[in-house]
């Protein structure tokens, strides 16, 4: 069978922060791709500002490097399980994977998650043990862990015989030997292993066209762009082709533009053939999983599975007393148009109308997926309000079921008891516990997703910031009944509008933890702190000091309060209870009660108490 020896198609997969994007950077630098005068910045493929700030990959990226007379097409995939739908689709576009594993941390939950996707597609693996220069690195033991994981995930004999390279992507060094002093400033072992081990794509360009869309992009000039692989045949600009839709219908269209990838650029090309990874425009309603074929031979490829959402939130227009002060886009129509536009590229997202005119239920793959969408909107100038995240229940074989996740925790030994106790209260079942070196303990739990909402803040404070928690969707299982997890403490709610005064805050801080600074503008119903008890309290945070003619020298200097706690956007979303909203604007993140009027809120609370008796 004829193959194309001039190209290789690989995906780079790893757990979050194990260094795969840095490795891609180094492969770009050390290949024959970029001109010598071109300076490449760190993690160049993470072009999105949020990706760069957080050090995570959110969207899969295509690049291609030249090595000798070969072109290596590389797809950098997200490591976080919230973006697992991307990973699964990428696996259909490539012939092999580079699995990057941290030489100190070893295999982690997302390592298992992304590797399973690759093995299921019978892809050829290469293992890169990265960060071998890290203090405490244990490369040989980690290789054993990886082998155990391969066996556990049902790898076949060929996959178990994987080549291993030891590297420090940050320093641009690699070697076939685990010893640190064998590292050399070259990526040649990685390139050579890719060329030798990863199968070449089939060369069947003479057969009828089959191109499948695995990712979507959107461009204001050319509209929707379908990114994928040509599995058979060839395609040229100007060709008349047929799009085979997911619903079984077909549409004929003319190819207006083709794009190929080289280095950090997407370049216009005139034609492409079997084995190439390309982008195609000219079809306004193309979707992931659909097949572009020759009109005379309409054979669709198997449909790509897209992970269903597990979490949902209500997005609504901002109707707080401060609405319209800080944002450019504040109307319901603007917010709806922007959410619908997000659907053009994010296939794991769902947006549904509600009975209210200015509210939409937005469903995604997890808290990170949805919080990044909220953060993106606020940076673009939108004002909105969002509700507490809720899990999505499903009917599985006639049983009402909820999502469960595998949780892996690495924590210093002294915090183990507290972590086990707190996760048990959230209905987590411990699956495994083992001590690792340096006084660390690794705990594995199976826990309901709704029990994990809001848990990370509690976990970080419980482990003093030393704990590491990772979780990934495991399965749907029967709903745990008569259990309503939520925040255990109440709130301090402002009873009026104005500016928070230091004097008032000094009188309030004994009741709990303040969440705002003196001088912050507040409105009635805005949450200004967390109560130390489980009930909500309305407080007068704008109260001023009665002035007298007598002033003691230095009395104002002596007025001090503890530093208020500042909640990030994620922490604010986790903090929410069912009767609260998070108000998000380009400049502020505020927490508020859904009902702002204090007396009306109290009436509703009384009604609820009497109806529950």
Binding residues for GTP: 17-22, 130-133
Contacts 24+ apart (CB under 8 A), 237-243: 237/270, 237/271, 240/295, 241/209, 241/292, 241/293, 241/294, 241/295, 242/292, 242/293, 242/294, 242/295, 242/298, 243/283, 243/286, 243/290, 243/291, 243/292
| Listed residue (561, 564, 591, 589) closest to 576, CA to CA | 591
Strands 440-448 and 429-435: antiparallel
d(CA 395, CA 479): 10
Reported as type and span, the H/E element at residue 157 is helix 157-160
Distance from the Cα of residue 446 to its chain's centroid:
20
Burial of 465: CB neighbours in 10 Å, binned 0-12, 13-18, 19+: exposed
d(CA 322, CA 320): 5
3-state class (DSSP) for residue 249: coil
Strands 521-522 and 498-499: antiparallel
3-state class (DSSP) for residue 48: coil
Give the N- to C-terminal CA distance of the chain in Å, as an integer.
Answer: 75
d(CA 351, CA 313): 10
Binding residues: 17-22, 130-133
Residue 39 structure tokens: 């300076």
Residue carrying the six token digits 């001088």: 519
3-state class (DSSP) for residue 12: strand
- Cβ proximity of 489 and 530 under 8 Å: yes
- Cβ proximity of 113 and 68 under 8 Å: no
Residue 445 structure tokens: 């739990």
E strands, 436-535, in order = 440-448, 468-478, 491-494, 498-499, 512-514, 521-522, 527-531
CA distances to 194, 233, 273, 406, 495 from 4, rounded to whole Å, are 14, 13, 10, 41, 72
Instruction: Output DSSP code: residue 192.
Output: H
Backbone phi, psi, residue 247, to 5°: -85, 5
| Listed residue (408, 388, 352, 324) closest to 106, CA to CA | 408
Residue 396 half-sphere exposure, CB side, CA atoms within 13 Å?
Answer: 11
Residue carrying the six token digits 């074929």: 293
């Amino acid at each position: 069978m004829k193959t194309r020896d001039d190209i290789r198609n690989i995906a780079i997969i790893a757990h979050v922060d194990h260094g795969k994007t840095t490795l891609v950077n180094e492969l770009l630098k050390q290949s024959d791709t970029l001109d010598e005068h071109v300076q490449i910045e760190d993690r160049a493929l993470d072009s999105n500002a949020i990706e760069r700030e957080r050090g995570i990959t959110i969207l899969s990226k295509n690049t291609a490097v030249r090595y000798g007379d070969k072109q290596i097409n590389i797809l950098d995939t997200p490591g976080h399980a919230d973006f697992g739908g991307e990973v699964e689709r990428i696996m259909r576009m490539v012939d092999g994977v580079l699995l990057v594993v941290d030489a100190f941390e070893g295999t982690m939950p997302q390592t298992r998650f992304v590797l399973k996707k690759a093995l299921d597609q019978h892809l050829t693996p290469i293992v890169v043990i990265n960060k071998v220069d890290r203090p405490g690195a244990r490369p040989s033991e980690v290789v054993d862990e990886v082998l155990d994981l391969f066996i556990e995930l049902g790898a076949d004999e060929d996959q178990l015989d994987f080549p291993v390279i030891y590297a420090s992507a940050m320093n641009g060094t690699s070697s076939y030997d685990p010893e640190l002093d064998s590292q050399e400033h070259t990526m040649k072992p990685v390139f050579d292993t890719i060329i030798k081990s990863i199968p070449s794509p089939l060369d069947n360009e003479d057969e009828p066209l089959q191109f499948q869309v695995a990712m979507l992009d959107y461009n204001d000039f050319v509209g929707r762009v379908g990114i994928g692989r040509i599995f058979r045949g060839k395609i040229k600009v100007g060709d008349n082709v047929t799009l085979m839709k997911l619903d079984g219908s077909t549409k004929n269209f003319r190819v207006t533009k083709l794009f190929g990838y080289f280095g950090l650029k997407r370049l216009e090309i005139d034609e492409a053939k079997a084995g190439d990874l390309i982008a195609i425009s000219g079809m306004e309603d193309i979707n992931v999983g659909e097949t572009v074929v020759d009109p005379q031979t309409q054979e669709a490829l198997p449909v790509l599975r897209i992970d269903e959402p597990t979490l949902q939130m209500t997005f609504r227009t901002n109707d707080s007393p401060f609405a319209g002060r800080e944002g450019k886009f504040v109307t319901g129509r603007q917010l709806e148009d922007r959410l619908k536009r997000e659907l053009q590229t994010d296939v794991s997202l769902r947006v549904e109308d509600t009975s209210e005119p200015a509210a939409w239920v937005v469903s995604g793959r997890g808290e990170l997926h949805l919080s990044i969408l909220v953060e993106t909107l606020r940076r673009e100038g939108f004002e909105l309000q969002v509700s507490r995240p809720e899990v999505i229940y499903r009917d599985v074989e006639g049983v009402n079921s909820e999502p469960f996740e595998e949780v892996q925790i690495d924590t210093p030994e002294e915090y183990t008891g507290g972590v086990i106790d707190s996760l048990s209260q959230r209905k987590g079942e411990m699956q495994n516990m083992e001590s690792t070196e340096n006084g660390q303990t690794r705990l594995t739990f199976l826990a309901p997703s709704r029990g994990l909402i809001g848990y990370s803040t509690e976990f970080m404070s419980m482990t003093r910031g030393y704990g590491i928690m990772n979780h990934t969707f495991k399965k749907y299982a029967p709903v745990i009944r008569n259990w309503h997890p939520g925040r255990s403490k109440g709130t301090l709610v402002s009873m009026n509008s104005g500016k928070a005064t230091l004097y008032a805050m000094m009188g309030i801080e004994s009741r709990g933890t303040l969440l705002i600074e003196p001088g912050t503008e507040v409105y009635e119903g805005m949450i200004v702190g967390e109560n130390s008890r489980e009930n909500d309290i309305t407080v007068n945070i704008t109260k001023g000091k009665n002035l007298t003619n007598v002033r003691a020298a230095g009395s104002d200097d002596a007025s001090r309060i503890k530093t208020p706690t500042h909640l990030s956007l994620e922490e604010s979303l986790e903090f929410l209870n069912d009767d609260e909203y998070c108000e998000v604007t380009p400049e502020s993140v505020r927490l508020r009660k859904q009902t702002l009027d204090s007396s009306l809120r109290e009436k509703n609370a009384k009604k609820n108490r009497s109806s529950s008796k």
